[in-house]
Structure 1
Amino acid sequence: MPRLVDHEVRRREITDAVRRVIVAGGLAAVTFQTVAAEAGMSVRLVQYYFGTKREFLLATHRSVMHDAGARFAERMAAHSGDASPREAIRAVLVELLPLDERRRAEAIVLGAFNTAAIAGQGITADETLAAPRALVAIVADQLDRAGRADVSAARAALDAELILAAIGGIAQGMLPGHYTARTAVELVDHLLDVTLTTASDTEPEGPRGH
């Protein structure tokens, strides 16, 4: 009997190959031929699963975000219950840093997609924004839980945007070696120190009597 093919497994093999091609040579290196060679299959088979280069690029972006999302869910579950908002946010932010080869590869791939969106290379920011928006919502929710004095939900959302923008910069800075893993984690902690400081903590003291 012919062997049954798991189509989802085959699609994942292709998107994993796309990731490796991007890590090795950037988006410019991605073609049906290079992906097929990396995946160890024919060009025709890649075309069977993905009719266009755009299709397998977007599927690859989704696969990276799906993997990261699964890890975020595990982190959040591990820090549920007695975990403070700071601990929960820190767990998510540290997971975004390229602290091992898998996350380093993901950061390179996501950076390549960002560059493509900026340069107008067929992938738009709107097509890759769903996952970042979800992360902002997670962080904003935890900031709301922190109970900071005089901080509105709108302010929490802005703080979440700022935190994730900073983490994106730190993660990309780690790739060429601008930041070590230790420095990156220290920056995360400092960022949380600054963000979670309440308004009353930063107010100047009034004049003291003599």
Structure 2
Amino acid sequence: MGKEGSGLVPRVVDHEVRRRQITDAVRRVIVRGGLEAVTFQTVSAEAGVSVRLVQYYFGTKKDFLLATHRSVMQDAGARFMQRWSALGEDATPREAIRAILTELLPLDDRRREEAIVLGAFGWAAITGQGITAEETFAAPRALVAIVADQLRRARHLRAATDRSDPDLDAELITMAIGGLAQGMLQGYTTAHSAVELVEHLLDRVLGTHTV
């Protein structure tokens, strides 16, 4: 009897699923012990796979760290798109920006995990732990560009005398939301207060009677 008939057909491995299994394990290790706790051994144990398998998919520690950072930003990006789709084409710039910003706040367990991981990468870049700031800038820059586009749209809908700078305002908003997320993790502010501060920030940038 052949392998197919004997039930011994080799299982097809979904490599993307396996990669995600490993990067999810990296996230959990970071949440519990910070970036310094991440090794091939701790990640393989957390993922329930061999060290050799982790090395097969990610040749170096830096490879799986950067892949983990990308996975966090991709998850956040997917949520942005879901929120935008739910808002519909008639969403105002303020509604669109609010949707983006609240997805970056640690308002539930998943977003809290992501905020901790991103904070760990930021600290690693500051302290020289093998990850440079430039290697993690692509996603924040994309976020700034999205917010700036919405601010330009808002300016177009307001009076022609509006002299605001969408690019600078987008940088300010993005930096502020990052600090607010870290403040929530440290217990400096509550979820309710954080959402209120987002609204206040949007009032300051867009005005209280915004489109």
Superposition TM-score, scaled by structure 1 size: 0.91
Structure-1 residue corresponding to 2:194: 184
Deviation at 1:79, TM superposition (A): 2.1
1:175 and 2:179 correspond = no
Q: SS at the partner of 2:107? A: coil
- 2:174 equivalent in structure 1: 164
What is the aligned counterpart of 2:73 among 65, 68, 79? Answer: 65
Tell me the residue number matched to 1:109. 117
In 2: Cα distance, 1:82 partner to 1:65 partner = 26
Cα distance in 2, alignment partners of residues 23 and 133 from structure 1: 24
Q: Which runs of 5+ in 1 are unaligned?
A: 199-210
2:6 alignment counterpart: none
1:39 aligns with 2:42: no
Q: What are the superposed Cα offsets for residues 11-61 of structure 1, whole Å, 9 maximum, x if unpaired? A: 100000000000000000000000000000111111111110000000000
- Relative to structure 1, is the Cα distance of residues 115 and 151 closer, same or farther in structure 2, using a 3 angstrom cutoff? farther
What is the number of equivalent residue pairs in this alignment? Answer: 197
Distance 2:162 2:167 in 1: 10
Unpaired runs of at least 5, structure 2: 1-8
Give the Å deviation of 1:80.
3.2
Residue pairs, 1:3-18, within 5 angstroms: 3-18=11-26
- Residue 118, structure 1, aligned to residue 126, structure 2: yes
Asked whether the 8 Å contact 1:80–1:88 carries over to 2, the reply is: no
The reply on whether 1:28 has 2:49 as its aligned counterpart is no
CA-atom RMSD in angstroms: 1.3
Q: CA deviation at 1:152?
A: 5.1
Partner letter of residue 183 of structure 1? Answer: S
Residue 140 in structure 1 maps to residue 136 in structure 2: no
1:97 aligned onto 2:98: no
The residue type equivalent to 1:126 in the other structure is: E
AA of the residue aligned to 2:79? R
Structure 1 Cα separation of the partners of residues 100 and 174 of structure 2: 10
